[in-house]
Amino acid sequence: MNKILPNYQAWDIDENDYPATADIATRIKFLIGYGILAPSQHNTQPWAFHIDNNSLHVLPDTERALAVGDPQNDGLYLSLGACIENIMTAGKYFGLVSSVSFADTSAALVFQETKPEPGGGLLAAITARHSDKGKYTLKPLPEEIINLPQASAGTVARKLITDAVILQKISAIHLRAATQIASNLDFVKELVGWMRPNDTTAPDGMPGSVIGNSALKTKLIMALVRRKPQVFAKAAAKDKELMESSSGVAIWTVAQKSPATLIECGIDIQHFWLQLTMRGLSAQPLTASVSTKPYSDEIIADTGLTGFPVFLMRIGYGHLKDVKTPRREPVCN
Ligand SMILES: Cc1cc2nc3c(=O)[nH]c(=O)nc-3n(C[C@H](O)[C@H](O)[C@H](O)COP(=O)(O)O)c2cc1C
């Protein structure tokens, strides 16, 4: 990661800069700095914020919605949830505990003073977390990850799968789903709009370095896919190797789909991901199968899950350590 570029500076947030004696709105603003480090599809960062005394409203920035890649905005609301989890985690660390409530398409956090969380909690994981899109080394996951408590919201379920036979099935379903999506030229055209050269100064999107590509290779691929989006269909095949190098897959379902249940699900996804990061494990969301029918039905049939599958990540022991994506300034109204 290039720490000099302004578009990466958000990652350099320093807990020692927490304005402990400032008014609550200023402190909440500082917490937002952790929120924006959350993952989002294509790194769109589809969140906006409104601070009202001791409340923080987290709203969708619909200009960042993905018409083709996320037509129902499922990924958008999952991303808002991930952003909220970061903010709540940081709040706890600094002594601002929050409760969350939901409106039609947004969530509100109400903060209250408490004792700072001893031991640091998951704060360090927020700045260490990133999507690791490289090959992993195959070995079993630690018991402490396998035994993590289930999702606490009744509407959200999470299942961690480590059984080799089921993993093979999921990998095969993913490959078919990813190949279908990658041959949708509208999807590819939208995706190319979020691809970035490695030396990008843009505050969003994905530089080629996140998949281990050199600056030159990234430029060539971007130029090629722009000219001939149909070549992208071949890219899906490489996911086979990635899947087969993974020690497990975690899948999330919701009992019914709404902005509130998706935000709750995003909170659990990020909480789980931060715990993986704390233990030195890598993860990469691979959402092709859960976002597309009939593949999402196949996932349900092969895993024994119920409800609507909305998120899938592969988990393992990765090697791409400090591969970060840019962040934009928070939109605060
Ligand atoms: C809802 C959602 C869906 C995603 N789907 C994929 C995916 O299918 N494939 C992939 O490689 N990354 C996927 N990602 C990861 C994003 O590309 C990544 O979060 C974004 O580029 C920011 O990078 P970071 O996670 O390293 O901060 C997804 C992330 C979210 C939140």
41 vs 229, higher pLDDT: 41
pLDDT of residue 152: 75
**Mean per-residue pLDDT, 289-310:** 95
Q: Determine the pLDDT at residue 118.
A: 73
Residue 77 has what pLDDT?
Answer: 98
If you average pLDDT over residues 117-145, what whole number do you get? 93
Domain 6-128 and domain 143-316 have a common topology: yes
Cβ(174) – ligand 1 distance below 6 Å: no
CATH superfamily, domain 6-128, is putative nitroreductase (tm1586), domain 2 (3.40.109.30)
For 205: left if phi > 0, alpha if psi spans -120 to 50, otherwise beta; the answer is left
Mutate to test the pocket of ligand 1, among 41, 292, 320 (most ligand atoms within 8 A of CB): 41
43 lines ligand 1 (CB under 6 A): yes
CA dist 119 and 307 (Å) reads 37
For the chain, how far is it from start to end, CA to CA, in angstroms?
Answer: 30
Q: What pLDDT digit, counting tens, does each position of 197-207 carry?
A: 999 999 999 99
Residue 1 has pLDDT above 60, yes or no: no
Average pLDDT for residues 301-310, to the nearest whole number? 94
Ligand 1 centroid, distance to 43 Cα (angstroms) = 7
Q: Looking at the DSSP assignment, which residues form a beta bridge with residue 50?
A: 57
pLDDT of amino acid 271: 97
Could you please state the CATH topology (level 3) that the domain comprising 143-316 is classified under. Answer: NADH Oxidase (3.40.109)
Q: Ligand 1, atom 20: nearest CA belongs to which residue?
A: 43
**Residue range 257-264: mean pLDDT, rounded:** 97
Q: Is 286 in the pocket of ligand 1 (CB under 6 A)?
A: yes
Contact 92, 121 (CB under 8 A): yes
Mean pLDDT of 255-260: 96
Domain ranges of the chain: 6-128, 143-316
Give residue 2's pLDDT: 46
Q: Counting Cβ atoms within 10 Å, is residue 97 exposed (0-12), middle (13-18) or buried (19+)?
A: middle
Report field, pTM of the whole predicted structure over 0.85:
yes
